[in-house]
Amino acid sequence: MLVVYAPQHALHDPPREFLEGRFAPYAEAPARAEIILRTLEAASIGPLITPDDHGLAPVLAVHTPDYVDHLRTLYGRWTAAGGAPDAAFPAAFPRPGLDRASRAPWALPGLYSFDMSAPVTAGTYTAALAAAHCALTGAARLQAGERAVYALCRPPGHHAAADLMGGYCYLNNAAIAAHYLAADGARRVAILDIDVHAGNGTQAIFYARADVLFVSLHGAPDWEYPYFSGYADQRGAGAGLGFTVNFPLEKGVDDARYLSVLAAALAHIRAFAPDYVVLSAGFDTFHADPLGQFRLTTPVYGEIGARVAALGVPVLAVQEGGYARDALGENAVSLLRGLEAGR
């Protein structure tokens, strides 16, 4: 299977995050992508290509120009004001009624961020843009006839909305690829999000659209991050009503339980009859993941891949989360082998 990888991901290496009231080492670290890459190579999964430069237009078709400009310039403005040189980190967020404009540099990091899990470093913009181009390159290969492509994106994207970063995400790689594949409504695209966290950004981006179906299995937001999105009664709006489908699940979901819910999710996708499927592939559903609280095992990712492939539609798998580093490569190999074998 074709794999798209950009070495620029390593330029994004934040020093720490803020987790349950404590500063902690940053879980979404460069080692994640390197481990996946090495394991794919050892398993002879390939060929491996680097992304083509698709420019900014397909990114700006999903994200607002002011947000992309903010992401590009934040670190420079932060350090020029004397902010910590390792990363721009938010400490204040505008809220309804507390949202007047401010020129204070310390206000900047919170302007387009919903949490403290998306520090912006010197290399964040370059890495995030390269990840978006990995997903776009995979999408273009599907258009050219490829049946399945894996975009090894880092940083991940599914928590990022049109003008919002958070949850380790800056540019929404899967959404950018899905919008590109939808080709102004000429094609139907289904996004299946299997990261353990609800893809609030992807959901928001496509909430009012009927040409892109968003289906997500995740820990229910009444106990799991991102807490404020991902409920079953969030079903889309306007023309998009019915084209967002959430499966919020309980703690401790195991392989059998997951596969039974996946069958229901795939039934929605089959009924939609998409031209393309974008798989937001997180492995933080794994039993040993330090952030997730599901109990999936390595073989089930192969079964998930086979069932997605059985849709008979070209698939772009986009890397999202997954923090059990020792198992990350094996879990990716399992998924990709399933995607290959299932067709």
In DSSP notation, 8-39 reads GGGG---SEEEETTEEEE-SS-HHHHHHHHHH
* Local structure of residue 168 (DSSP, 8 states): T
Q: What is the nearest approach in angstroms of Zn ion to the Cβ of residue 323? A: 8
- Shortest spacing between CB 96 and Zn ion, in angstroms: 27
Residue in the structure block whose two tokens are 């489908």: 245
Instruction: Return the one option of ligand SP5, Zn ion, none that residue 117 interacts with (CB less than 5 to 8 A, by type).
Output: ligand SP5
Q: What is the contact surface with ligand SP5 in residues (CB under 6 A)? A: 117, 156, 159, 167-169, 195, 197, 225, 282, 284, 291, 320-321
For residue 255, state whether it binds Zn ion (rule: CB under 5 A).
no
Catalytic residue among 159, 179, 197, 218: 159
Spell out the residues 6+ positions from residue 318 whose beta carbon is closer than 8 angstroms to its own: 135, 138, 151, 153, 157, 173, 174, 177, 278, 279, 280, 281
If the CB atoms of residues 196 and 266 are measured against Zn ion, the closer one turns out to be: 196
Nearest residue to 148 (alpha-carbon basis) of 315, 341, 338? 315
| 197 near Zn ion, rule: CB under 5 A | yes
Is the Cβ of residue 309 or residue 316 nearer to ligand SP5 in the bound state?
316
Token pair, residue 298, equals: 């390595």
Other Cβ atoms closer than 10 A to 66: 11
* Three-class SS state of 224: coil
Residues 261-290 that bind Zn ion (CB under 5 A): 282, 284
Which listed range, 25-33, 176-184, 187-195, 331-339, lies at the site for Zn ion (CB under 5 A)?
187-195
Q: Which does 201 bind (CB under 5 to 8 A by kind): ligand SP5, Zn ion, none?
A: none
Nearer to Zn ion, 137 or 285 (CB): 285
As given in the structure block, the two tokens for residue 34 are 């390197």
- Least CB distance to ligand SP5 at residue 156 (A): 4
Q: Check residue 195 for interaction with Zn ion (CB under 5 A).
A: yes
The CB-of-268 to Zn ion minimum distance in angstroms stands at: 21
Q: How far is CA 124 from CA 56, 73, 133, 340, in A?
A: 16, 10, 14, 32
**Measured from the CB of residue 331, what is the shortest distance to ligand SP5 in angstroms?**
14
By beta carbon distance, the residue nearest ligand SP5 is: 321
* Nearest CA among 341, 302, 300, 322 for reference residue 148: 341
Residue number with CB closer to ligand SP5 (174 or 215): 174
Question: Which residue, among 129, 288, 110, 84, has the nearest Cα to 196 in the 3D structure?
Answer: 288
Indicate the residue whose CB is closest to Zn ion: 321
Whether the CB-CB separation of 48 and 3 falls below 8 Å is answered with: yes
Q: What tokens appear for 306 in the block?
A: 């086979």
225 binds, among Zn ion, ligand SP5, none (CB under 5 to 8 A by kind): ligand SP5
Question: Cβ closer to ligand SP5: 184 or 326?
Answer: 326
In the complex, least distance from residue 143 CB atom to ligand SP5, rounded to whole angstroms: 26
Q: Confirm whether 158 is a catalytic residue.
A: no
Site residues (vs Zn ion, CB under 5 A): 195, 197, 282, 284, 321
Cite the active site residues: 159
